[in-house]
Amino acid sequence: MQALKQSIETRSSKVGRIRIGVMDTVIHTWLSPLVAQMMDHYPLVEIELVADTSLNLCDQLQKGFLDLILQTDLLRQESVRSLELASHPMGWIVASNSIYNREYSGVADLARERIITYSKNSHPHQDILALMQANGVLAPRLNCVNSVSAITRLLRDGFGIGALPPVLVAEELARGELTLLAIDQRPPNLQVVVSWRLGVEWVEEIVALCQQVLEGYARKVGEGYMVLNR
């Protein structure tokens, strides 16, 4: 009991600032529970959040502008550590009342339509390109957008087929506004990776907190929306 009391007092009395970078997918899924836990565990710590693409976040971490980032890529650098936390299954999603809500014979048939997905040269963008090329589609009509909110709005307004994790539009799917197409060939799961700079005070504690929060979130949404890395 004494050790536990001392641990809690030490944790809650920490003072300083932690600079965290997050990709859009995290913002729209489990960022709020993470921040709530951080505020509860470290009430005196200033939390500085930066939202950006995975490519930009990795660059900012390596340059020392951020302490910890949540994005899609494993970083290999002496001063940085990375850990795969989980992944989100991907899907092909359309507005239920749009012309795109029909049967497709496969990816090649799908590629004739306008595809809306993540920003150019991002991990999911490259995965979709590889999937298309493997199915004989050399020049797919990919429309790259770096905002999940913008992608969701475009899909709801019927402007194409979205290639993104269904977890991001779970409410719209539940209400019947959007539909998950029944196509077996899907892009690989979108990885969620935590990367952090070595030597930053108590950043490993934040990494452990990320794992804890993610476990609870994964139980809540189910494996159809998130798969934990064991």
Whether 185 maps to a domain, the answer reads no
Q: Quick: pLDDT tens for 12-52.
A: 567 788 999 999 999 999 999 999 999 998 988 899 999 99
pLDDT bin (cut points 50, 70, 90) of residue 201 is confident
CATH number of the domain where residue 105 is located: 3.40.190.10
Round the average pLDDT of the chain to a whole number and report it. Answer: 91
Residue 137: closest CA among 99, 163, 158: 163
Q: What is the DSSP letter of 169?
A: G
- Is 80 exceeded by the pLDDT of residue 169? yes
- How many Cα atoms occupy the beta-carbon half-sphere of 147 within 13 Å? 4
Beta carbons within 10 angstroms of residue 178's beta carbon: 23
The helix/strand/coil state of 13 is coil
Number of domains within the chain? 2
Q: What is the pLDDT of residue 78?
A: 86
101 with 83, same domain?
no
Q: Is the pLDDT of residue 204 over 60?
A: yes
Could you tell me the pLDDT band of residue 4, with boundaries at 50, 70 and 90? low
Q: What is the pLDDT of residues 52-78, one digit of tens each?
A: 999 999 999 999 999 999 999 988 888
pTM for the whole thing?
0.88
111 is in which domain, residue-wise?
90-180
Could you tell me if 196 and 134 lie in one domain?
no
**Nearest C-alpha neighbor of 22 from the set 72, 74, 62, 91:** 72
Is 27 found in the same domain as 109?
A: no
Structure tokens at 204: 């490993």
